[in-house]
Structure 1
Amino acid sequence: MKFGMVGSIGFLADAGLFSLLFYLGDWAPLPARVVAFLFAATVTWCGNRCFTFTHCQHVAKGKQWLKFIVVALLSAIPNLIVFNLALLVLGTGGIAALVALAFGVLAGMVSNFLLSSRWVFPP
């Protein structure tokens, strides 16, 4: 439950920065998605460290963040594949890019949780 709550905040950070870069900054979808993804990964690492997996706060922050980014990058594979497929189907007009982003996030969420709970924040 806590992982999902932190993930929701991460999704808002992801969607917010993506929207700023894509809709207001006129960035191409993929570069905007990558930058927003890395930002959201850092936001969710902070939330998970301080709220979800508090038993792991003794681990060095830099080492733990790096492990979390590795997990996020691995989870980015299904995330970005689904994002790009959804863009192909939906296009980029209107809110279609945000819908594609949401589908991508859902695709990467399962692997992110499994890897995070077992390797980044082990019991």
Structure 2
Amino acid sequence: MRLSARIARFLVAGAAGFVVDVGVLSALVWCGADPRPARLVSFLAAMTLTWQINRVTTFGDRAGPATVAEFLRYAMASGLAALINLGVYMGLVTWGGAFRTWPVLAVAIATALSMTVNFLSYLKLVFSPRPR
């Protein structure tokens, strides 16, 4: 599969995950849940969905049968990228300047970095090529 097609599919999976994340979070908060633990539930739901989409479409030519080990590698890679996202965001906003005035700039940079880490870790560590 061409890299551009793989990246496009990765972005679609991410968009679907975002919709599920926001939807589950909103529903849980609407039902009275504390938004902090609700966010953990919504993140897990979104991550599970993106694992399924990515393993079938984005990395379908590289993925073998779905296994718990593969899901755990995916979860660890996703968690690492989330930590990078939050760390970069917090660092930029703490550093100040334009990032404190326009924190959306910090979100954009943090998201770009974490998405790159996600994509590369999924490509190289989570979905190993199938033997032919």
TM-score (norm 1): 0.71
* 1:106 matches 2:111: yes
Retained in 1: the 8 A contact 2:63–2:128?
no
Structure 2 Cα separation of the partners of residues 77 and 29 of structure 1:
19
Residue 21 to residue 72, structure 1, CA distance change in 2 (3 Å): same
Paired residue for 1:116? 122
Give the CA deviation at 1:28.
2.2
Residue 27 to residue 79, structure 1, CA distance change in 2 (3 Å): farther
DSSP-derived class of the 1:54 partner: coil
Paired residue for 1:10? 17
Q: 1:33 aligns with which of 31, 34, 39?
A: 39
Paired residue for 1:67? 73
- Letter of the 2:14 counterpart: G
**Deviation per residue, 1:90-116 (Å, 9 max, x gap):** xxxxxxxxxx9xx49936423222211
Q: Counterparts of 1:15-94 in structure 2 under 5 Å?
A: 15-22=22-29, 24-80=30-86, 82=89
Give the CA deviation at 1:79.
4.1
Give the CA deviation at 1:29.
2.3
Root mean square deviation of aligned Cα = 2.7
- Number of residue pairs matched by the alignment: 106
Larger-Rg structure:
2
- Letter of the 2:31 counterpart: G
Paired residue for 1:95? none
Give the CA deviation at 1:121.
1.8
